[in-house]
């Protein structure tokens, strides 16, 4: 397990607290979509609370390059944030990232440097200006027209994932599969599979964050959310095993094992999508019941 993974694990197991060099430092975990691959990328970052929003800093410990997550945010502002809570466990939140500028940026930067002088030292090490980013949590109680839009996005993402899965199934159809794929064909198959895996992982990560807000605003949906979260965990475990299988794929006869494993992983996925749409869309459309 790498250093980052250890911090993430400790964070999740200890309600957002991490020892060692991060002892007493306010941290959040942020998950962004990889700019090139779309793969979910989770990293711990120091944060500053500012009213309802959470402010983070692209210090990269004073290196001359912005951190990867900052580039990811410039591509897609949708960020999943995990934080410790008063309930004693880490919760995940759907947020929208805004890169701050001008006086607002400078003021929050100064505040952070006063609280933690290491940040001033980071800025002195590099010529680039360290970015300051505000994470705005999703608020489903604020704007009904926005909720409707979120419902439409959910449907659009499901449609894209269904289409991607159909393409993948066609690519590994046993009727068309050759007994021993050429290395180039195997690489292409792997790329197809990974694109689907990353897309689905990202979709579920973002939904897990949005579910926290669903639970707050639509308490009658609590049993539904519990079931959906549990289904996400099952799919996530399956996808990890599938990725492991793909990392070794490429030899003769492996298309069949990829096909079998894929079907195992996505069994029940269609029902999951349908149940989610059936249960969540009426709430988003204002039909709370």
Rounded CA separation 279/270 (Å) = 14
Nearer to Fe ion, 7 or 269 (CB): 269
Q: Residue 204 CB, nearest distance to Fe ion (Å)?
A: 5
Q: Residue 197 CB, nearest distance to Fe ion (Å)?
A: 15
Residue 261 engages Fe ion in binding (rule: CB under 5 A): no
Question: What are 202's two structure tokens?
Answer: 């990202």
Q: Residue 276 CB, nearest distance to Fe ion (Å)?
A: 5
In degrees and rounded to multiples of 5, residue 105 shows phi and psi of -60, -50
Which span (61-69, 111-119, 135-143, 202-210) binds Fe ion, by CB under 5 A? 202-210
**Per-residue mark of binding to Fe ion, 154-193 (x: CB under 5 A):** ----------------------------------------
Q: Residue 9 CB, nearest distance to Fe ion (Å)?
A: 24
Which span (101-109, 111-119, 127-135, 269-277) binds Fe ion, by CB under 5 A? 269-277
Nearer to Fe ion, 121 or 156 (CB): 156
Question: What are 128's two structure tokens?
Answer: 């680039």
Residue 208 engages Fe ion in binding (rule: CB under 5 A): no
Non-local (6+) Cβ contacts of 158 within 8 A are 273, 276, 277
Pairing of strands 40-50, 53-57: antiparallel
Helix residue spans in the chain (DSSP H): 3-13, 68-75, 102-115, 118-125, 144-171, 183-217, 222-247, 254-266, 269-284
Residue 207 engages Fe ion in binding (rule: CB under 5 A): yes
Nearer to Fe ion, 70 or 211 (CB): 211
Non-local (6+) Cβ contacts of 283 within 8 A are 214, 218, 221
Nearest residue to 101 (alpha-carbon basis) of 64, 131, 65: 131
Chain residues in the site for Fe ion (CB under 5 A): 207, 276
């Amino acid at each position: 397990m790498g250093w980052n993974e250890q911090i993430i694990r400790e964070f999740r197991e200890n309600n957002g607290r991490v020892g060692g060099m991060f002892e007493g430092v306010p941290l959040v975990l942020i998950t962004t979509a990889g700019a090139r691959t779309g793969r979910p990328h989770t990293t711990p970052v120091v944060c500053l609370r500012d009213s309802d929003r959470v402010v983070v800093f692209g210090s990269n410990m004073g290196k001359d390059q912005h951190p990867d997550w900052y580039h990811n945010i410039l591509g897609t502002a949708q960020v999943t944030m995990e934080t410790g809570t008063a309930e004693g466990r880490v919760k995940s939140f759907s947020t929208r990232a805004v890169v701050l500028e001008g006086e607002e940026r400078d003021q929050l930067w100064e505040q952070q440097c006063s609280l933690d002088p290491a940040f001033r030292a980071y800025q002195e090490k590099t010529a680039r200006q360290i970015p300051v980013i505000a994470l705005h949590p999703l608020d489903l109680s604020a704007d009904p027209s926005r909720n409707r839009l979120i419902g439409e996005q959910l449907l659009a993402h499901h449609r894209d994932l269904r289409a991607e899965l159909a393409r993948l199934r066609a690519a590994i159809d046993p009727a068309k599969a050759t007994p021993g794929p050429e290395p180039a064909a195997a690489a292409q198959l792997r790329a197809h599979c990974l694109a689907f895996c990353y897309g689905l992982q990202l979709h579920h990560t973002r939904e897990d964050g949005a579910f926290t807000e669903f639970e707050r605003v639509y308490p009658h949906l609590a049993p539904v959310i519990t079931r959906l979260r549990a289904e996400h965990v099952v799919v996530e475990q399956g996808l990890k095993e599938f990725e492991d299988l793909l990392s070794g794929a490429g030899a003769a006869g492996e298309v069949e094992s990829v096909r079998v494993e894929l079907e195992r992983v996505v069994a029940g996925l269609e029902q999951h999508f349908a149940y989610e749409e059936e249960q969540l869309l009426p709430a988003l459309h204002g039909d709370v019941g």
